[in-house]
Amino acid sequence: MVLDLQKKATLLVVLIQDQLILALKEIYLLCLIAACQILLDVTSTTEPIEKLLNYFWHHLEIDIQTLCRATQHSFDDCILLLHTLLSRKDRQSWETKFDQIVIKPNFEIQKEQEGVIEQHIDRGRQLIIEDSDIKYRSLLQMVYETGPTTSSSIMPHLWIYRPLITIDHVSLSLERNTKFAGLTVLKEFLKKVKLLEALVCLPDIIRLQQFLYESCHLRIDETEVASSLEKFIRKGFIRTHKQQKLLAQAENFCVAWNKRVQQCIDTVNVALGFLQHSGKNPQIFMKRFMIDLKMEGKMPKSVEERCELCHVISLWRLVNVEQAKQITIGKEDPFPGIDKVFKENLEEKQKEALQVALGTYDMDQFLEVMYEFIVTQVKSRREFEADDELIEAYIDVCDYFLLEKIPNFAEKFPKEFSLKHITEIWKYAVKYQQEQIAKLQ
């Protein structure tokens, strides 16, 4: 608890200093613009200097109050803390002492035997109780189970807060502790956990399959088969009270299908994280690399046996784009982490111009490259950059990071599009590709 509070205190102090620096930079820029463009308006202001000083002091007070809440100290104590950490040299000295007194002993405690660790945890709980207000001590003793239970009606083990044990926590414990080496069944379970989660949807998938066979076998033509499952279920010949049930079953089918895709995405993300620091031979097959990471069996066999490490970026793009396509076809947002300023709807004229341009590109390449551009570059852009020209922004990023370029993008893509249209362009491209595939069939 003390460690967390001290970390928060340090972070808030750094944030406050950064905010003050940014504020000073903005003031400087405003003064420069004002001196060049609206000098008369600035010099004729009626606001006294005292009000401006109060404005900055008010913002500083709010930041200090935030620091008070995080550290549970008084306003004066937090001001003293700010003075102590005001310079980089003083802050470095304080962090060094904090590391020696708090962080290193905690790491040493973790390396000790389990029984000793429990003693330290109990001691920490006792310190929390003693550090708290007197009127709350009896409650904290009950919560942390440090004192005897006085009443038979109070059962702390039924309502006390316990952190959830996650699959990742179990996997990490198995890898670190050698005494669990013989638990082969549990290890196999952890490898297939994503697929086992999808088994919940299996009854609905079987019922849906039976219904579709009974209703459709030798009764529908090719055009109806090519239509989406949701549209087919909503047709008038199916009774209304069955529609919602069948739609729920179809949704569970999609969830089960996406579990496998999501497992591939998670595995590829982990592999990329290790490759970033390990620098393995790019000619090594994915299967061998997955065995080294103890993650074998989490990707399709064809991928593990045929793909090399030099293909991992292409594989990442492929599985992520496939998932985003399915989300788009299901009329959901494939980019929930992108700011809404980059999701402006397209006008009819823009759609017509875009359709002409898309006919000149390889759609698989276009969707993969633009998806990577959105999730790696647009995601970090700020609101004022939304009006930047899309072609210029894309070409600049490709030149700077030496990325793959879409052929003839600068020459043939309409110049009227900005970054604010990027996500809607991608979604329209998915729709266009589906229409072209349907025409070929």
pLDDT at 391 over 80: yes
Residue that is written with structure tokens 């949807």 in the block: 201
More confidently predicted of 363 and 12: 363
**What integer best gives the mean pLDDT of the chain?**
72
Banded pLDDT at 10 (limits 50, 70, 90): low
pLDDT at 349 over 80: yes
Q: Mean pLDDT throughout 24-46?
A: 59
Banded pLDDT at 81 (limits 50, 70, 90): confident
Return the SS3 of 389.
Answer: strand
Banded pLDDT at 5 (limits 50, 70, 90): very low
Spatial neighbors of 81 by CB under 8 A, at least 6 apart, are 9, 13, 67, 71, 73
Query: So what's the pLDDT on residue 247?
Result: 56
Q: Mean pLDDT throughout 163-188?
A: 74
Q: Are 421 and 350 in contact (CB under 8 A)?
A: yes
Query: So what's the pLDDT on residue 151?
Result: 60
pLDDT at 43 over 50: yes
Query: So what's the pLDDT on residue 255?
Result: 56
Residue among 298, 24, 348 nearest 32 (CA): 24
Q: Mean pLDDT throughout 94-120?
A: 69
Query: So what's the pLDDT on residue 421?
Result: 93
Query: So what's the pLDDT on residue 398?
Result: 86
Residue that is written with structure tokens 């604010």 in the block: 420
Q: How many CB atoms lie within 10 A of CB 92?
A: 11
Q: What is the tens place of the pLDDT at every residue in 201-231?
A: 677 767 767 766 666 655 555 555 445 555 5
Q: What is the tens place of the pLDDT at every residue in 231-271?
A: 554 454 444 445 555 555 555 555 555 655 666 666 776 77
Burial label, 264 (beta-carbon count in 10 A; 0-12, 13-18, 19+): buried
| Lowest-pLDDT choice from 88-97, 143-152, 232-241, 299-308 | 232-241
Q: Mean pLDDT throughout 93-121?
A: 69
Strand partners, 187: none
Query: So what's the pLDDT on residue 25?
Result: 57
Q: What is the tens place of the pLDDT at every residue in 154-165?
A: 565 555 555 667
What global pTM score does this model have?
0.45
Banded pLDDT at 423 (limits 50, 70, 90): very high
Following DSSP, what letter does each residue of 297-366 receive, concatenated?
TSS-HHHHHH-BGGGHHHHHHHHHHHHHHHHHHTTS-S-TTS-GGG-PPPPHHHHHHHHHHHTTS-HHHH
**Chain-centre distance of CA 312, in angstroms?**
20
Query: So what's the pLDDT on residue 426?
Result: 94
| Burial letters 169-206, b for 16+ CB under 10 A, else e | eebeebeeeeeeeeeeeeeeebbebbeeebeebeebbe
Q: Mean pLDDT throughout 109-118?
A: 60
| Lowest-pLDDT choice from 137-151, 211-225, 346-360 | 211-225
Q: Mean pLDDT throughout 306-316?
A: 78
pLDDT at 283 over 70: yes
Following DSSP, what letter does each residue of 133-178 receive, concatenated?
-GGGHHHHHHHHT-S----TT--HHHHS--PPPPHHHHHHHHHH-G
What ranges do the domains of the chain cover?
A: 2-101, 112-159, 197-322, 333-440
Provide φ and ψ at 3, rounded to 5°.
Answer: -60, -45
Query: So what's the pLDDT on residue 90?
Result: 74
Query: So what's the pLDDT on residue 284?
Result: 78
pLDDT at 405 over 80: yes
Q: Are 258 and 205 in contact (CB under 8 A)?
A: no
Rank 136-145, 287-296, 401-410 by mean pLDDT and report only the highest.
Answer: 401-410
* Angstrom distances, CA of residue 22 to CA of 25, 85, 86, 384: 5, 19, 16, 17
